[in-house]
Amino acid sequence: MTLLHFAVLAPFLFAVLVPFLFKYIRKIHTGWFVLVVPLILFIYFLSFISVTSDGRDEMQRMEWVPSLGINFDLYVDGLSLLFALLITGIGTLVILYSIFYLAGKKERLNHFYVYILLFMGAMLGVVLSDNIIVLYVFWEITSISSALLISYWYTKKASVYGAQKSMYITVFGGLSMLGGFSLLYVMAGTFSIREMVGNADIILGHDLFLAAMILVLLGAFTKSAQFPFHIWLPDAMEAPTPVSAYLHSATMVKAGIYLVARMTPVFGGGAEWFWIITSFGVFTMLWGAVSAVRQKDLKAILAFSTVSQLGMIMSLLGAGSAAFYYMDGDNALYTTAILAAVFHLINHATFKGSLFMVAGIVDHETGTRDIRKLGGLMTIMPVTATISFIGLAAMAGLPPFNGFLSKELFFTGITNVVQYDMWNGDTIGMILPVVAWIASIFTFAYSAIIFFRTFRGKFKPEALPVKKVHEAPAGLLISPIVLAVAVLLISIFPNMLAYTIIEPAMMSILPGILSEGSAFYVDIYHWHGINLELMMTAGAVALGIVVYITMDKWSKLGIYQRERDIMTAAYDNGYDLLIKGSQLLTRAQMTGMLRDYLVYMLLFIIGIMFYTMFRFEGFHFGMDNASDIDIFMYFILGALVITVLLLPKVNNRMTAIILAGFAGFLVAFIFTVFRAPDLALTQLMVETVSVLLFMAVFYHLPNLTKDDITPLTKTINIVVAGLAGLMVTLVSISAFTFGQTTSLAAISEYYIENSKILAGGYNMVNVVLVDFRGLDTMLELLVLGIAALGVVSLIKLKVRESDDV
């Protein structure tokens, strides 16, 4: 295991120690021990800056399932390093913040820090994995761990509801993404992202390109809260504020952004990729901004603002993907969008992380986040107000803050679309900057709402649950101050990250765009002259002021009063329909009768088997090479047929048991004649145990009467039994005939020759079961284990007299 692998697995390993630290070291907050993990990892990943800034990357390999091409390969380039630094850097500040935010409360801190470490490790695995299957495994761990964090206060129904919603939506996207990954493997013949980038031309021209792209985008859109999958993010705000600051501003919601950026070299250059990402991103930006203005809760406003900002970054990645289509043209025309996406990704993590922490401080000190009860906190909480002003000014895109710089680049990148001479960019593309500009108006408006409704105006102590409001303690202020300082530093020195972080990330998103030895021109500065972008910013600020000033008038409209997103209502209705449908299906299927269950299973098996045989032309008939059958076998088969035909006619329980056992023993005798002693022994044991069990419960067996069976039931029984028998017969004959055209002896010889060499065993049957079919056997053992647990649970279940048995 390399040091890079250990860095990814370190949070998981340390999570095992957290319960013990929490139990045995009570005098010290558990967070102080956990804080060491992201801090050390952040310092470790800083050491890679010298590698990526030189245009190099680093790959560390570890075999996992090499026979399937699934290896735990980790890859550090500009893009993965940027996200790794965000995950560990913001993670350090969030854990420091949580130490004071959760101090003095009877919280399950061991659970909290275990969940957050699991999430941190999973996110590192997502952004550093080169193998898409390994990436998917970590991807789903982020969904599970984030749901656990959202439902941390599980006694609150809203927390459980938010966790379930996030789980359903993101896991749905994850499974869709897995389907897309499978199609990518079919097209490229590899699970490696780097190798897929090398085969991008093959993928782009493949018939499965569109299907794979849509499935992958479903995973990205659900995780990054793009419309219409954005509805999980506002409800996830029920989590503790440190969780909101970490998961939903800097890390988890950026996973989808990362996936789109990483897959841009694979899918970029196609009109579908360009239009889907750009249009959905711009519309999500507008939807989130308008929805944020309607909210009354500080964290809800920030949640919808996050949706809007994520849409903004997503649209930039879509617009910049055009560089792969027109690689010989003016690179700046296309790459400006990618530059804006990377730069705003960093800026958003700084100002949004600080704003979520400020919302937590306000809630912590006043007891509420309702802006209708807040106001006048600037004089009481001046430090918090200052941090809030810096973050909100950056989010609103006001100069000279870093948000203004990336917003100007955003306007440049999105307006450049109208200059694209392909994919109707010069016509339909004109809609994109207009929608983006309208969204910017509302971005300024909700930023003004947060600041002026919270920190300006009249102080209302009578409306606050906490009567003695004061400034937050220093421990709570350290993390947001650090992020606010980062906002200011980037604002004053915008190029401090230009060629150490931003350009290497651009090189990872747009590999091969530049000639060897060249570099992207990254020069970020405040004054560009009086141009279109500056006029768009000025117009957005002016109209944003108008929107805020006139809020008292138009806020009385019904649409403003409805804080709940209409897509949430669609989700709830759809969820209710699914529940009712599943209940209806369950009632039809779970009748409590073993006969019905057997019919369902047999029909399913028969349908799948017949479809497979017809689909792949599996029916083969030929008895040319059939061996002669001894005369006594006809007597055995005749006795077996007569026994089976008599069974349905028997009304006596004892006779039925004897006949069933006799039929089983005859089958065992047939196995013996055909030299299959292991099967014969198994059959004898099963039949012996079955007969003994039937005899043991003889008096409890139901009476065999014909009156309880309706003609319809008899017909169904006959049809299903006949189809099952026909299926087994046809499959048996086909298998026999198939063995005539493809040498089964060669297959046998393979196992005979390799049982000792490859598996170290002489018993070929055991070797096949344990080694050659080891995965299948393991799954069988898993099923048996689950069944055993179910039996034990039923035995231990104490049934009350009032329960229906």
Per-residue pLDDT for 643 more than 60?
yes
Q: Could you tell me the two tokens for 581? A: 């449908």
Q: Please provide the average confidence, as pLDDT, over all residues in the chain.
A: 87
> What is the largest distance, in Å, between two alpha-carbon atoms of the chain?
106
Q: What is the pLDDT of residue 705?
A: 63
Q: Interior CA angle at 207 toward 204 and 210, to 5°?
A: 65
Strand-pair category, 58-60 with 74-76: antiparallel
Q: What is the tens place of the pLDDT at every residue in 147-177?
A: 999 998 888 888 999 999 999 999 999 999 9
Q: What is the mean pLDDT of residues 296-314?
A: 93
Per-residue pLDDT for 801 more than 60?
no
Instruction: With CA atoms as reference, report the closest residue to 437 among 543, 323, 576.
Output: 543
Q: What is the tens place of the pLDDT at every residue in 580-608?
A: 999 998 888 888 888 888 999 999 999 99
**Helix (DSSP H) and strand (DSSP E) numbers for the chain:** 34, 4
Q: What is the pLDDT of residue 282?
A: 95
Instruction: With CA atoms as reference, report the closest residue to 439 among 549, 283, 233.
Output: 283
Per-residue pLDDT for 318 more than 60?
yes
Per-residue pLDDT for 76 more than 90?
yes
Tell me how far apart the alpha carbons of residues 287 and 308 are, in angstroms, rounded to a whole number.
7
Residue 634, judged by CB atoms within 10 A of its CB (0-12, 13-18, 19+), counts as exposed
Tell me how far apart the alpha carbons of residues 684 and 243 are, in angstroms, rounded to a whole number.
60
Q: Interior CA angle at 418 toward 414 and 423, to 5°?
A: 105
Alpha-carbon distances, residue 427 vs 123, 415, 645, 670 (angstroms): 39, 12, 77, 78
Q: What percent of the chain has pLDDT over 70?
A: 93
Query: Percentages helix, strand, coil for the chain, rounded to the nearest 5?
Result: 75, 0, 25
For residue 277, give the 3-state DSSP assignment: helix
Contact 281, 320 (CB under 8 A): no
Instruction: With CA atoms as reference, report the closest residue to 391 among 350, 359, 360.
Output: 350
Tell me how far apart the alpha carbons of residues 134 and 591 are, in angstroms, rounded to a whole number.
41
Q: What is the pLDDT of residue 443?
A: 95
Q: What is the pLDDT of residue 425?
A: 66
Tell me how far apart the alpha carbons of residues 33 and 28 are, in angstroms, rounded to a whole number.
9
Task: Identify the weakest region by mean pLDDT among 98-102, 352-356, 791-795.
Answer: 791-795
Contact 362, 454 (CB under 8 A): yes
pTM for the model: 0.83
Q: Interior CA angle at 66 toward 65 and 69, to 5°?
A: 95
Q: What is the pLDDT of residue 338?
A: 92
| Dihedral sign computed on CA atoms, order 341, 343, 349, 352 | negative
Task: Identify the weakest region by mean pLDDT among 85-89, 139-143, 465-469, 508-512.
Answer: 465-469
Tell me how far apart the alpha carbons of residues 191 and 71 are, in angstroms, rounded to a whole number.
9
- Map tokens 């994850």 to a residue: 174
Tell me how far apart the alpha carbons of residues 550 and 558 are, in angstroms, rounded to a whole number.
16
Contact 193, 130 (CB under 8 A): yes
Q: What is the pLDDT of residue 105?
A: 59
Outline where 616-676 has alpha helix (H). 631-646, 653-673
How does DSSP classify residue 468? S
For residue 510, give the 3-state DSSP assignment: coil
For residue 623, give the 3-state DSSP assignment: coil
Q: What is the tens place of the pLDDT at every residue in 218-247?
A: 999 999 999 999 999 988 888 889 998 898
Q: Could you tell me the two tokens for 444? A: 């300024």
Q: What is the mean pLDDT of residues 723-750?
A: 76
Estimate the crossing angle of helix 532-549 against helix 402-415, to 10 degrees: 120
Per-residue pLDDT for 263 more than 50?
yes
Residues ≥6 apart with Cβ < 8 Å to 279: 315, 318, 432
Estimate the crossing angle of helix 36-46 against helix 78-101, to 10 degrees: 160
Tell me how far apart the alpha carbons of residues 721 and 602 are, in angstroms, rounded to a whole number.
9
Q: What is the pLDDT of residue 323?
A: 83
Q: What is the pLDDT of residue 459?
A: 87
Per-residue pLDDT for 330 more than 60?
no
Per-residue pLDDT for 103 more than 80?
no
Say which amino acid occupies 113.
Y
For residue 492, give the 3-state DSSP assignment: helix
Per-residue pLDDT for 74 more than 90?
yes
Per-residue pLDDT for 654 more than 60?
yes
Tell me how far apart the alpha carbons of residues 647 and 660 are, in angstroms, rounded to a whole number.
7
For residue 625, give the 3-state DSSP assignment: coil
Say which amino acid occupies 163.
A
Within 10 angstroms of residue 565's Cβ, the number of other Cβ atoms is 23
Q: What is the tens place of the pLDDT at every residue in 425-482?
A: 667 778 999 999 999 999 999 999 999 999 998 888 888 887 788 898 999 999 999 9
Alpha-carbon distances, residue 560 vs 301, 383, 637, 676 (angstroms): 13, 32, 81, 77
Q: What is the pLDDT of residue 753?
A: 82
Per-residue pLDDT for 805 more than 50?
no
Within 10 angstroms of residue 239's Cβ, the number of other Cβ atoms is 26
Say which amino acid occupies 524.
I
Q: Could you tell me the two tokens for 503? A: 């350009």
Q: What is the pLDDT of residue 800?
A: 47
